[in-house]
Amino acid sequence: MQNPGMTQSQLTLYLRLPLRWLSALWLLLMLSACGGEGDSAAPATPPPIVVTPPPATSLCDNGEGSINRQALMSTNCARLSDYRLFSDSSNPTRAPNGAGVAYELASELFTDYAIKRRFVFLPENTPMVLQGDTLSLPVGTVLVKSFLLPADTMTTDASAARLVETRLLIHRESGWTALPYRWDGNEAYLAETGADLPHSINAANETLNFTYHVPSRAECKICHQSAQNGITTIAPIGPKPLLLNKPIRIEGEMVNQLTWFASQGLLTGLGELESLPQTFAIGDEQQDLTARVKGYLDVNCAHCHKADGFASVSGLRLGFETDHHSYQYGICKQPPGWDGGERGLSYDIVPGNGDHSILVYRQTLSGPKDRMPPLGRALVHSEAVAQISYWIDLMAPSVGNCQ
């Protein structure tokens, strides 16, 4: 029987509908004829049909096995263990998987007295290439640096220190990628926005309470960036001939690190070691003071204070290769955009007077606006400051003392 409220065209359309829709539509028509209002209970609305696609296979997998190179080259995994870089995923200070090799630097970036452990993972059968004093790292290279905070500034024993972060620099086809991981228990998690961790450390019988900062990915780019022709890229800071040219202990014997790399097929292009620059730890008083100070400033400052660095506008150039008697290196140079601080200092380096040199002064400041380096430290590296100030004191004073 035709519904009284249904036209001929509605009936035709109705008869063409699939059978599974007929009962539901008939009920709606009946309700419409009755006004569809009042206290009559409406039928429950069926839940929508959700089609769930099959889960995509993730490249990030913290299971056992060899290094997860596919993930390293394409994916920012949430957990450090997903890359399977170490045989014990909870300990990134030893036993690297695959062809991972530990390396050391002759002079280190100061990070609140943190102890550091470094590893380089090269793609198979693809060594580093040394051309002059420039080291090239191939696509597929992974640099790993872990930070451990000791209880005392004089401690170098990593086993007694607190593991806080591990940073990766990955050379992908698209360029270098920086990934900071913060440790929580036996796992390290990607810290996209960084993290602040309270810590206490003993320094000459004084307890220093401070906040250790794990950098965000954006902050990593500030220190590692180079800008050329309007294009900004990032690159490693530590692995350069100057800093790798040092003796290391291999099976109980001391050998030059670059020579050992070459002997293991990890490096090509190595010529005479005497032709390469060399520096030493800032506190190694048996070595040349100028080489120590310039090496320290190179690794701690030159990545920003260079022509294509973040602080290029300052005009200060603190690379090891820069003549330290020059205006560019800061001799009687006034820094643009800085007022001299509370002491009203005027020149980056005043020869013969470290106490009146901004280069020294800003390394003693803690405010975010004035401290140098601006990132990576909350504490003052007092031992290094003393060495740098002494080095400037030994410089022959300029005519008129920079006036």
pLDDT digits (tens, 9 = 90+) for 31-62: 333 333 333 333 344 444 443 343 445 899 87
Which stretch of 195-204, 356-365, 379-388, 391-400 has the lowest confidence by average pLDDT? 391-400
The count of other CB atoms within 10 Å of the CB of residue 92 is: 24
Q: Is the peptide bond before 54 cis (omega within 30 degrees of 0)?
A: no
Helices (H), 8-96: 8-16, 19-33, 69-72
Share of the chain above pLDDT 90, in %: 72
pLDDT digits (tens, 9 = 90+) for 89-135: 999 999 999 989 999 999 999 999 999 999 999 999 999 999 988 99
Which stretch of 37-51, 305-319, 353-367 has the lowest confidence by average pLDDT? 37-51
Q: What is the pTM of this model?
A: 0.83
3-state DSSP helix/strand/coil % of the chain, to nearest 5: 25, 25, 55
Whether 222 shows a pLDDT value over 80: the answer reads yes
Burial of 402 (0-12, 13-18, 19+ CB in 10 A): buried
Stronger pLDDT, 351 or 3, i.e. the higher one: 351
Model confidence at 229, pLDDT cuts 50, 70, 90, reads low
The answer to whether the beta carbons of residues 98 and 86 sit under 8 Å apart is no
Mean pLDDT (the chain, rounded) = 86
Model confidence at 232, pLDDT cuts 50, 70, 90, reads confident
Domain extent listing, the chain: 69-232+243-275, 289-402
